[in-house]
Structure 1
Amino acid sequence: MGHPVVIRTTRPLEGVHLEASGPPALTAPALGHLRALGAAAPEPPRTPGGPARFAAAGNGPGRVTAHTAWADVLPRAHAVDEATVQAATGMMHVHGRRDGAPRGLAVDYAATCASVLTVQGLLAAMLGRARGGTRNPHVTAGADRAALLTLSQYLAAANAPEAEAVELSPGGPPFTAACGTRFELEALDPAPWARFWRELRAPEEAVRAGWPPFQFRYATACAPLPEELHRTTRGVSWARIRQAASAAGAEVCPLHPLTDTAAERGSRAPWTLTPREETWDGPAPGTAPDAALPLAGLTVLEAGRRIQAPLAAHLLGLLGADVVRIEPPGGDPLRGMPPCCSDVSARWLALNRGKRAVQIDIKSRAGQAELRELAAGADVFLHNWAPGKAEQFGLGPDHLAAVNTGLVYAYTSGWAGWQADVPMGTDFMVQARTGVGEAARPADEAPAPSLMTLIDVLGGLLGAEAVLGGLLLRARTGRGVRVESSLLGAAETLTAPALHRAAAGGGARRPAAFRSPFATADGWIAPSDDSAAAVRGRSAELRQLTSQQALDALRADGLAATAVTTDLGALPHDPRLAGVLTRDPLGSLVVPSPWRFA
């Protein structure tokens, strides 16, 4: 394929006309992002049930269509809305680990992730078509597929042959000061953790015992901390806690309500795409003749850590790209994070399976030169280093554009330069600062960030979405593109429905008992949101029945519900997911791709 006709546009979907229909939970986030990418889309009819359907035309011959349902791998009776998808996939279980019982997320997390993945599928299909692929591609996604993807690390760990490194028991932040201020604490290393607690005169034994569960809370979604640590913060003022954090090199952030943070944010897209002025002077790669996936033949360099950037690159790999992971000398230390499958971390495999790895010391001149050489032949460079590090290493967007004018340079950040006084850009600190901790729980629960990594994962999805937008923009303009996404953008995407409800005169938080599952004689069941009120009046009856008996009784009365998965290790054998979860050559559990292309 030769170079495209160079056009003056800053958005990849300008000139594209989009039609959509389906329930708002599945359509609204996608429509917002597609419009931000330049598509013209009228407001769809509000249909409460059924799948979401999208059809895009105008950018080249043919049209691209997408279909997103609540149930794509689950039986339809078990996945009729957000609540039932959360229950059946294990999301309620993971979110509820901190509290010791399954709890529904009060935000539409599975639907939001499915919506973003639908946008990715549409962008990838358009890019594949522009590169000579299928003229009228169709993309199929599902909220259940999206939920399994977001849980892939937890599922992989639960189905590994080894045990967890720490106990999976209830407990965790936030902490509370003497004045009642609830706050999150962040310390990425044991030294600032220990200094912070010693500044507050916490018992030494509790300080030592608290570090492992605190350190692993990102991986386990719980942190059974010694009660002495909570007692310590309840006995001192918020001012003293801030002083201790500053002296220790740790960070603290009070939980902000949604109503406060709403006033600070404007209306903006969750990412930025900035084309370069220079026209790309390299060869435009074509699709491999036998390619079944739209990104086949493209190369992605990923220098990522933890979740956000590695997940974004993982998604690009699932779409067919060749992903080359840049690791430090000696390899990524997280490769050995327990539990392992054949000596490789099951969690690490969930994000990095199938990637090639190159060890480079990016702090050295030789390593920086080596990375620039790799970037000269790549299509995408993706990283989530701390702000300013890329420029410090001579690996910023201008540095790499000097060797590859057509590069899509992608930075997945924490705060996207939002404010000078924001805390460290990590998942739980972003949840605390942006009101996610309030939105994720109904009104009868105290605000608390979920210990399930909601924002890191959604941030990774947005990172992949932004890269695909950048690649499509490059295909249309013949110019390299600088892309930035952020955890802030993920938080704003997730809390947007709550803020819209508040702006319309309703409550930002969901009402008491929203999405609370019901106990049965042998487990838990979760009704659909529409059936919850009717089921609530029968809670005493349900406690006398097995879960299957309870489901049979409710369905006989026309009510929708499903059993709550509370054992991730048993999920591969759950009849609802028969044959869906597989294993890789190392024996680690694999969730299905979030898309199907035809």
Structure 2
Amino acid sequence: MVTVAPDVVSIAGPVDLPLTGEQDVQAACGIMHVNGRSAGRPKPLGFDYVSAVAAELAELGLAALKLAQARDIPLRTVSTSLAQAALLAVSQYLAAATADEAEEPLVPGWPAFRSTEGVRFEIEALDPLVWNHFWTELGAGVADVSRGWRPFLHRFATAACPLPPALHELLATQPITRIEDTGRRVGMTVVRVAEHAIDHLPPFALSGSVSGGPGRAEGPLPLSGLVVVESCRRVQGPMAGHLLRLLGADVIRVEPPGGDPLRWVPPMAGETSARFRALNTGKQAVEIDLASPVGRRHLLDLVADADVFLHNWAPGKAERWSLRARDLSRVQPNIVYAYASGWGDELGPNPPLGTDFAVQAYAGVPPSPMTIVDVFGGIVCAHGIVAALASGASHVGSSLLSAACRLNARSHTRCAAPRTVPVCDDLAVLAADQRFARALIHDVCTLVASPWEFAS
């Protein structure tokens, strides 16, 4: 259990339920329900994740409060709660459960890969050709490989992944060295599960300095009047931008021509993916082709009037595009440049794919089919950005791996309070429950309100 000041972090917050601790919050707020989808029954996380998220949100809120006071914004207190932290963690699943379009029926299952020696490992691919080549080289049947791709690709969204049993059985006959060699040859990420959790990295690193920080604000929130340009995909970066918007910033989201493909991933809420809405509602979107010189000049024009630039591009892309921190500082000397990566510098300049489940395995985080590291990584990144704005730093580096280390460091003790409330088994029912009304926003789907309350 994470120890936090009771005047900053409560248990239930705006949720009108008699919650007594971590297990109650995981049960009532949907964490056990989502975490158990792969098993076909509610299942608690293997550590006090909600307490860790709430503690990070509290520290981020306090950093934002310090920034507000430096900007002469009359705020004196901030509070959050375990319940608000839990709802933020399930926000994408909650939005999907309340969309206009029904979700596909979920089938339990989750890949727990082991080699013939019993070595546990995780694999990752975002390209169907890589997936096909990997399994074909190992001798898998074409039908099994084809059936496995879709649930594997969508496991981030569904928290379930029912792969054909033949794929598990095949890997269990292979030495780990052959699996790793095949992965390297075809581009499949293969990461062994750590025997011990690692926690040696700081959550974020600040460096450099700006000549002038954010000035006085006309607005009620800590980041009111500040502009963030965000060029991010998936969860980690968009979550960071989402939190900065909830703290008052105007967020301009840079998307490729035609828009981010994740906008159209079912289930749909109106004309936009419900899951996409959960992290991107309220942001201004602009389509830019960053692969073209004209597009990169357009981005620099946006940055010239911004306070923060945030991206989570693949390693080396900022260098190839000449959009490094020093490049942007030429058009905006006071820009805070934030990079939210997968691995940071830990695995060198050409790391494997740095996605949630690969990082969970490498860092030894108690495994979950939820995107627990992605969500926490977004909070850590936003915390670093607010800390940079408050301190005058010009560069923020964070990663999923640094977030995983932070999770592990916050998870050395457990809350002893037993569960005393029923387990939520339907997020749509939770969304309609009036006891959650003050923590939720009902639009074309159900969204989670700000996890903080600021007061003068």
Structure 2 length-normalised TM: 0.95
Q: What's the offset of the Cα at 1:574?
A: 2.9
Q: Are 1:239 and 2:177 matched, yes or no?
A: yes
State the partner residue of 1:486: 399
Which residue, 284, 287, 302 being the options, matches 2:217?
287
> In structure 2, what is the Cα distance between the partners aligned to 1:284 and 1:52?
30
Q: Are 1:74 and 2:15 matched, yes or no?
A: yes
3-state SS of paired residue (2:148): helix
1:563 is matched by which residue type in structure 2?
P
Q: Deviations over 1:269-299 (max 9, x none)?
A: 21111123x634xx954311xx221111100
Among all aligned residue pairs of Structure 1 and Structure 2, give the percentage whose two residues are the same amino acid.
44
Q: What's the offset of the Cα at 1:235?
A: 2.0
Q: What's the offset of the Cα at 1:424?
A: 2.1
| Unaligned stretches of 5+ residues in structure 1 | 1-23, 28-50, 54-66, 441-448, 475-479, 502-509, 511-527, 532-559
Q: Are 1:52 and 2:29 matched, yes or no?
A: no
2:421 is matched by which residue type in structure 1?
T
State the partner residue of 2:40: 100
| 1:342-421 mapped onto 2 (5 Å cutoff) | 342-420=270-348
> In structure 2, what is the Cα distance between the partners aligned to 1:580 and 1:469?
26
3-state SS of paired residue (1:530): coil
Q: What's the offset of the Cα at 1:76?
A: 5.0
Q: What's the offset of the Cα at 1:197?
A: 0.8
Q: Are 1:198 and 2:132 matched, yes or no?
A: no
> In structure 2, what is the Cα distance between the partners aligned to 1:113 and 1:580?
16
Q: What's the offset of the Cα at 1:206?
A: 1.0
| 1:534-573 mapped onto 2 (5 Å cutoff) | 561-573=420-432
State the partner residue of 1:31: none
C-alpha contact 2:340 2:397 (8 A) present in aligned 1: yes
State the partner residue of 2:353: 424
Q: What's the offset of the Cα at 1:187?
A: 0.5
3-state SS of paired residue (2:397): strand
> In structure 2, what is the Cα distance between the partners aligned to 1:224 and 1:167?
12
Q: Deviations over 1:352-379 (max 9, x none)?
A: 0000011111111111111111111100
> In structure 2, what is the Cα distance between the partners aligned to 1:112 and 1:582?
24
Q: What's the offset of the Cα at 1:395?
A: 0.6
C-alpha contact 1:26 1:68 (8 A) present in aligned 2: no
State the partner residue of 2:207: 274
| 1:151-550 mapped onto 2 (5 Å cutoff) | 151-164=90-103, 167-258=105-196, 262=198, 266=200, 268-276=201-209, 279-280=211-212, 284-288=214-218, 291-420=219-348, 423-436=352-365, 440=366, 449-474=367-392, 481-498=394-411, 500=412, 529-531=416-418
Aligned residues: 454
State the partner residue of 2:451: 594
C-alpha contact 2:94 2:431 (8 A) present in aligned 1: no
> In structure 2, what is the Cα distance between the partners aligned to 1:530 and 1:334?
39
Root mean square deviation of aligned Cα: 1.8
> In structure 1, what is the Cα distance between the partners aligned to 2:66 and 2:51?
23
C-alpha contact 1:26 1:112 (8 A) present in aligned 2: no
State the partner residue of 1:506: none
Q: What's the offset of the Cα at 1:174?
A: 2.5
3-state SS of paired residue (2:36): helix
Q: Deviations over 1:179-236 (max 9, x none)?
A: 2111111001111011111111111111111111100000011101111111111122
> In structure 2, what is the Cα distance between the partners aligned to 1:96 and 1:254?
23
> In structure 2, what is the Cα distance between the partners aligned to 1:385 and 1:307?
13
> In structure 2, what is the Cα distance between the partners aligned to 1:26 and 1:331?
42
1:146 is matched by which residue type in structure 2?
A
Q: What's the offset of the Cα at 1:530?
A: 3.2
2:6 is matched by which residue type in structure 1?
A
| Unaligned stretches of 5+ residues in structure 2 | none
Q: Deviations over 1:518-550 (max 9, x none)?
A: xxxxxxxxxx8434xxxxxxxxxxxxxxxxxxx
> In structure 2, what is the Cα distance between the partners aligned to 1:172 and 1:202?
18
Q: Deviations over 1:162-185 (max 9, x none)?
A: 133x54121122212112111111
C-alpha contact 2:73 2:216 (8 A) present in aligned 1: no
Residues 137/396 of structure 1: CA separation in 2 closer, same or farther (3 Å cut): same
Higher relative contact order (CA 8 A, sep 6+): 2
Q: What's the offset of the Cα at 1:419?
A: 3.0
> In structure 2, what is the Cα distance between the partners aligned to 1:435 and 1:416?
17
C-alpha contact 1:257 1:434 (8 A) present in aligned 2: no
> In structure 1, what is the Cα distance between the partners aligned to 2:236 and 2:263?
16
**Larger-Rg structure:** 1
> In structure 2, what is the Cα distance between the partners aligned to 1:246 and 1:124?
43
Structure 1 length-normalised TM: 0.73
> In structure 1, what is the Cα distance between the partners aligned to 2:80 and 2:438?
18
> In structure 1, what is the Cα distance between the partners aligned to 2:92 and 2:236?
13
1:141 is matched by which residue type in structure 2?
T
3-state SS of paired residue (2:394): strand
1:81 is matched by which residue type in structure 2?
G
